[in-house]
Structure 1
């Protein structure tokens, strides 16, 4: 009977282990939490069986609680090194006055995520597939020298998805033209909602691999892959950085592992946008030191990063604001998606949120929503460029807003908006603009 009890406990532990799939590395807090919970749960079962707490159980309880505490408190009391955080990000010491990308009407990402989803959904409905399949999460990337949104199709219903029902295609739309939306036929047999999900496929082969996130990306031939970004904590129990990637073929599930320097050029999310944004904000929050709580000199992203395309590659672009002056920007940051090299460009003016509100208030009809405005050099003037879409995801207008002066123009095409903006800029009387105090980035 004792052997049966031990066997059942071992089986339960293994099932829990393989279900939770803790990454087997020393600085994974979830691993400590999992092991500690197993120890405590085992002792609780013994207490129930013997109708009370035995003296011999006090030590195991203490060990289990201590291990849980290590998992909970490890992230809190580690990662204090400001230098290590800056090193992980690779933030250069000071901004330069030049470097903002020059506007190219053919590459500006005017199609927001929400508009892209609606454009792809219309193609799904046109093909008569919307009752059986739905769109997965769209991923922005570069394909054939242009920015596109790509999303896999997935079976509707949890049961079908859980059992691995295949999908017949993926959807794609250019990030500057919704009329390009189309479905591309290919068997998608692997998805992230099955019994054996994407994380599990990697973990079973290498339980020390920590997958930060999954991205549906196209290679140079247009064949899709699930790209898992492999990361490890570099600052104690915190501070993720990329160490490689794994590519899963969507049809065969074949895995190909890459080290950080071997990741193919067609992988555009090698350094995940969410990770880079966290690192930028973490550095901005601790630029004066961990225990200096004044907001003076601190900085943060004023809005989420956006992917843009220039110099024949993809970049993350974001604007930085002082924490104590969130209503204006002080800099633009550009992050190379292949190397994570960062450019800092000094630029003071209004935020992209303020530019969006200005365009929405002056659109041709009420209720239009501005896409995330992106700053470019427009005829020598730093200006936000955006589209205005209705509730159906149709682009109804385009707008340009000066970052420094607030001069704006709206037109039914981007070209007409740019022409009107140039005319207004020419007529704009030079008005002295009070300079905003620069942020301190002494690292």
Structure 2
């Protein structure tokens, strides 16, 4: 073969290698991405070698097209691939495999009061992702030594860290030049946003242990390339940033599998854990993923699987026409911290566009355990509108609600934000009796108003407050005016807590003085303040 004929072939191989290095498709027959990549390789090869192929087949003195029947048979290969792909798509479709799709998720009926315990104020996330991002950006702006080189990334992930809900995200290089000048040491810190107190901490990593493997790196240290070259067949669905109980940063790469036909029944078979600092990596099946990992299943996949479960129980045709017994999730979801795990919460409604729910589900984002609670009431969107209506003169917007247990009553909890995205007030809305809407400047105040409203509506509730009591002689009593409201701060003999009493709510405090014996109930706010809810 002449030297010139090798050039197109060599160019084809080089471009193929470059395409693989850039696009990083999994070498897996179940991946649509791999099929599309294979088609792109064929197109590239045909374009580069078009003239050589044309001369060989048609313009040569002895046309290979006429003399070699094998070449004609090669035309059947693309046709065969198209047929295989089309049949694979059809056999993987819910149209033919409705029963298999409805079985992707195992759903158990749960007991609300037993499974979801009364609220603990230190574990209520009052921030949504947008508010957390604004706080992180503000904190980053104050770090003069880092803000010129790094930025806050968009990889916010809610996890439980030492039994508290937080959002963590790494920093990223400001630009390519800053990557070049800082890549030897890696990214030196990550952000930790406390979802309950709104405190933001820039966690600096020990010297020499910066984040060197991330989506913000290039070449061999780029997270996706690093994982692909070590797990060439793995279908990576998502990459979440988490830290273990010791604050060591990791990337949790969920590995996808197809369980129905060639392309259907998306599920998670395991996770690849990559130490963001050292690059150490290991694959775990779902059942073996370490306890500290919070997110293996993304919320979108869990919601999709529940929708299959809810709509395809009686077949595909029924899901489109009769729709007997068909249920689907509502328009959004949020996260709930339970038993040191992160659970995805979303409401469940009947297909038909009504504004109520027939229940809700909690889905464990590490194990996929799913519990359904049959409770009718308002949709989350309706609850948000009700809360915003209570403060419409202030123009606040509500966050998507999370689920709480208040006096064994399923309750929506929402934060109300101003135009700058800062949390200003809190709201609680009873799911079943959604005309009960409470607003408060603090979580404790909001709960007190909420309990009183429920009591006035005939709902049997425990006394205001969390049930924590204190009794003794007053050793300190001071009054302070805060935002036009008079508060009395007192201390009791033998105790170190500082108790705050709002005078307008507890007029009996005006009769008290140092030396008086009192009995009170209180709740502890996230900042440590003890807010009195009952005073005798």
Q: TM-score w.r.t. structure 2 length?
A: 0.74
Q: Does 1:420 align with 2:440?
A: no
Range 240-249 or range 139-148, more displaced: 240-249
Does 2:351 align with 1:335? no
Question: Are 2:11 and 1:8 aligned?
Answer: yes
Give the CA deviation at 1:48.
Answer: 4.0
- Give me the whole-angstrom Cα distance separating, in 2, the residues matched to 1:281 and 1:266: 28
Mapped to 1, the partners of 2:312 and 2:423 lie a distance apart of 41
Aligned to 1:436: none
1:120 aligns with 2:136: yes
Match status 1:231 vs 2:231: no
Equivalents in 1 of 2:399, 2:80: separation in Å?
Answer: 49
User: Which residue does 1:279 correspond to in 2?
Assistant: 305
Residues 133, 156 of structure 1: 8 Å contact kept: yes
Tell me the CA shift for residue 381 of structure 1.
2.1
Residue 371 (structure 1) shift: 1.7
Residue 171 (structure 2) pairs with residue 146 (structure 1): no
Q: Describe the shift of the 1:95–1:298 C-alpha distance in structure 2 as closer, same or farther (beyond 3 A).
A: farther
Per the TM alignment, residue 339 of structure 1 is displaced from its structure 2 partner at its CA by 2.2
Give the root-mean-square deviation of aligned CA atoms.
2.6
* Alignment-derived partner of residue 183 in structure 1: 202
Counterpart Cα distance in 2 of 1:261 and 1:162: 40
CA pair 19-62 structure 1, distance change in 2 beyond 3 A: farther
Going from structure 1 to structure 2, the CA distance change for 1:364 and 1:31 (only over 3 Å counts) comes to closer
- Determine if the alignment matches structure 1 residue 23 to structure 2 residue 26: yes
Residues 1:427 and 1:140: Cα distance change in structure 2 (over 3 Å) = same
Partner of 2:463: none
**Aligned pair count?**
428
* 1:163–1:195 contact (8 Å) kept in structure 2: no
Shift in CA distance, 9/229, structure 1 to aligned 2, threshold 3 Å: same
Determine helix, strand or coil for the equivalent of 1:106.
Answer: helix
CA distance in 2, matches of 1:164, 1:170: 15
Corresponding residue for 1:250? 276
Alignment of 1:182-331 (within 5 A): 182-186=201-205, 187-196=210-219, 197-236=222-261, 237-292=263-318, 293-294=320-321, 295-331=323-359
Report the CA distance between 1:42 and its aligned residue: 2.6
1:104 aligned to 2:120? yes
Deviation, structure 1 residue 91: 2.4
Residues 98 and 8 from structure 1, CA distance in 2 versus in 1: closer, same or farther, beyond 3 angstroms? same
Q: CA deviation at 1:373?
A: 0.9
Structure 2 residue aligned with 1:434: none
Q: Give the aligned partner of residue 440 of structure 2.
A: 411
Q: Deviations over 1:139-188 (max 9, x none)?
A: 0001001111001000123564599843221001112221x211000222
Shift of 1:72: 6.6
CA distance in 1, matches of 2:107, 2:305: 10
Aligned to 2:528: none
Which sections of structure 2, spanning at least 5 residues, go unmatched?
59-64, 460-536
- Contact 2:149 2:178 survives alignment (8 Å): no
Structure 1 residues 348-397: Cα deviation after superposition (integer angstroms, max 9, x where no partner): 01011111111112127522221221232212322211111223332100
Greater mean alpha carbon deviation, residues 368-377 or residues 203-212: 368-377
- Could you list the per-position Cα deviations for residues 222-266 of structure 1 after superposition, in whole angstroms to 9, with x for gaps in the alignment? 111111111211112122222221122222222222222221111
Seen in structure 2, the aligned counterparts of structure 1 residues 313 and 15 have a Cα distance that, compared at 3 Å, is closer
Conserved? CA contact 2:152–2:170, under 8 Å: yes
Shift of 1:344: 0.8
Report the Cα distance in structure 1 between the residues aligned to 2:382 and 2:349, rounded to whole angstroms.
13
In structure 1, stretches of 5+ residues that fail to align are 431-443
Q: How far apart are 1:30 and its partner, in Å?
A: 2.2
Write the deviation string for residues 290-341 of structure 1: whole angstroms up to 9, x where unpaired: 2231244322221333221123433222211112134111111112233221
Q: Is the CA contact (8 Å cut-off) linking 2:334 and 2:345 kept in structure 1?
A: yes
Q: 1:345 aligns with which of 360, 363, 373?
A: 373
CA drift of 1:99 comes to 4.8
**In 1, distance between residues paired with 2:264 and 2:44?**
28
Which residue number corresponds to residue 168 of structure 1?
188
Which structure would you say has the larger RCO, counting Cα contacts within 8 Å and 6 or more residues apart? 1
Residue in 2 that maps onto 1:83: 99
Compared CA separation, residues 73 and 200, structure 1 to 2 (3 A): farther
> 1:199–1:347: structure 2 CA closer, same or farther, 3 Å change rule?
same
Greater gyration radius = 2
Say which SS state the counterpart of residue 307 (structure 1) adopts.
Answer: strand
Match of 2:526 in 1: none
Q: Indicate conservation of the 8 Å contact 1:30/1:71, yes or no.
A: no
Q: What do residues 49-73 of structure 1 show as CA deviations (whole Å, max 9, x unaligned)?
A: 4668744766545533553565477
Range moving further from structure 2, 131-140 or 290-299: 290-299
Of 414, 420, 426, which residue of structure 2 is paired with 1:386? 414
SS at match of 2:358: strand
Q: The residue matched to 1:340 in structure 2 has which SS?
A: coil
